[in-house]
Amino acid sequence: MKTHWNWVPFDENELAIGKQISEALHLHPIVGCILTRRGVTTVQQAQQFLHPKLEDLHDPFLINDMQVAVERLNKAVGTKENILIYGDYDVDGTTAVALVYRMLRLYGVSPSQLFYYIPDRNEDGYGISERGINYASDRNVKLIIALDCGIKAVNEIQYAKDKGIDFIVCDHHTPDDLLPNAVAVLDPKRSDNSYPFTELSGCGIGFKFMQAFAINNGLRQSRLNSVLELCAISIAADLVSVRGENRILAYHGLRQLNRRPSPALTGIIKSTKIPAEKEVDMTDIVFRIAPLLNASGRMLSGMQTVELLLSSDISSAEAHCADIIRSNERRRKLDRLTTSEALAMIEELQIDRDDKLIALYKPTWHRGVIGIVSSRLAERYARPVIILTGEEEYVSGSARSAGGFDMYAAIDKHKHLLENFGGHPYAAGLTIKRDNLPLFLEQIRDYANATIEEKRFVPKITIDAELKLTQIGWRLFNNIKQLSPFGPDNPRPVFLTKHLYDTGETRVVGKQLEHLKLGLTDAPNRRYPQLSIMAFRKAPEAGYVMGKHPVSICYQLEQFIHHDSKTLQLQVKDVHHEDVLTPEQGL
């Protein structure tokens, strides 16, 4: 499938504002223009974007119910009530539990007063469960703080109230019209929300709660900095926006990870084999740290993830990681098997050719891997995917979006068929009775077929700027790095270079000969030995490139570290033959 390149050159206004920003802040001219296109249109805004300050975080008491929540927590702490911290089993939920637990301990709450609970995928299902509430009741808990879940748990929270247990809900998912009967519901997505930023992660909501608690009790805000590493991990893993308040939290969380990580995170970073000389970034979290943390919740127990995140020394953290890594090997095998079976099912039924949404069900698939598989298929087929499993009365599903399709809204439209669901436009989870499954699949496919345009199925790459090879160097790379943290709403910039020819140095590489190491030039007899150009999984383009045909490439700038040497590398995302280039609006 040919990828569409979205590329619009900078207009005169963008060039003028970009120049002003670049000259004032001593940036590469291209970087000023990229900032302008991303909505940063003054020198002051650019300074705030490039140098986020914790002082610019919003007042946490602007969140509805925050004052009530803090007063209830103060009462629990003051009267020494037992407190249970309850979180979802994914990375966002487990980091949130670890964050609140660590902060309450820092503020002097006794460990004998604190408990935590992460639901089991198989025994509890998603979110708040009666089993978890009974666990709290057995320990004489009087207050449950729910993190990254609870906004839809109307019946379960009423069940807790009947047992004399209060709830404070800290969630970032979209609520229904009826809110649960909790003491406080902290969720910026409430219909009556008054908070200036609505895209916090679940862990971010927990941070705001602890920030308010600190302010109310006259405690040092600097102590909050010790948990910013957990905010950064949750923001990266949960794929929330990295603009606004999340940018501040992620920026300073990454600084902590690279300068003063906790013993737990030091052990995790060592276990994931991130090179010691490399700065941890959002990509490392997404592809190295988050999968390790997720593996425990998928294959073992989310409780073990929290134990790991609360490790008081590096050696115990590494021991926890070793157990998780062993279980992760099993997860990878199940992942490969499930993906293979899903691809065979799609091919056999020709699902991708007939439907605009792919939905697959097999009773024996493992619940712990269906989220990974749905993500992989959504990327491969450029369309939304739902993967379901379960042999008993209830079936579990994991959904991922593609092409801008609002997966949460689609599932919400069919909630009358569901037992439970939650998520956001990009990803969601659901539970359904097996008897309702055929009707649900039929209706959600019909909904997708009626609302999704065919053009959404074409994979797209958005290009930020066109460069000549002579413009590429360490100054540009270092200025681009200042735009980080990268993620949703602030992606790593993608560049375009046209009219390139093989220098004779292009070759196929890799164990399976699947990659291209490119030698390219944009002028006769000109070489760029300082540039390494890698095109992963682009070996099929070798014949065309080596045949001296002109090509265009789109790519990202990366730093390749080998032993003590650093090389600037162009990581090619796509190669286009120049005979398919079309005007400015797209390639």
User: What is the reported pLDDT for 483?
Assistant: 97
Q: Are 127 and 149 in contact (CB under 8 A)?
A: yes
Structure tokens at 405: 């399709």
Residue 152 DSSP SS3 = coil
Whole-prediction pTM: 0.89
Residue 103 DSSP SS3 = helix
Q: Are 515 and 534 in contact (CB under 8 A)?
A: yes
User: What is the reported pLDDT for 516?
Assistant: 93
H or E element, residue 374: helix 370-381
pLDDT digits (tens, 9 = 90+) for 436-449: 999 999 999 999 98
Residue 150 DSSP SS3 = coil
Q: Report, as ranges of residue numbers, the positions in the chain whose pLDDT lies below 70.
A: 1, 297-300, 351-354, 454-457, 524-530, 579-587
* Strand pairing category for 495-502 and 520-521: antiparallel
Q: Are 139 and 82 in contact (CB under 8 A)?
A: yes
Paired with 166 in beta bridges are: 143
Contact partners, residue 547, CB within 8 Å, separation at least 6: 502
User: What is the reported pLDDT for 368?
Assistant: 80
User: What is the reported pLDDT for 1?
Assistant: 57
pLDDT digits (tens, 9 = 90+) for 466-499: 999 989 999 999 999 999 999 999 999 999 999 9
Euclidean distance between CA atoms 268 and 273, whole angstroms: 9
User: What is the reported pLDDT for 527?
Assistant: 59
User: What is the reported pLDDT for 460?
Assistant: 83
Structure tokens at 31: 């970087």
Closest CA to 81 of 33, 34, 136, 16: 136
User: What is the reported pLDDT for 530?
Assistant: 63
Q: Are 314 and 291 in contact (CB under 8 A)?
A: no
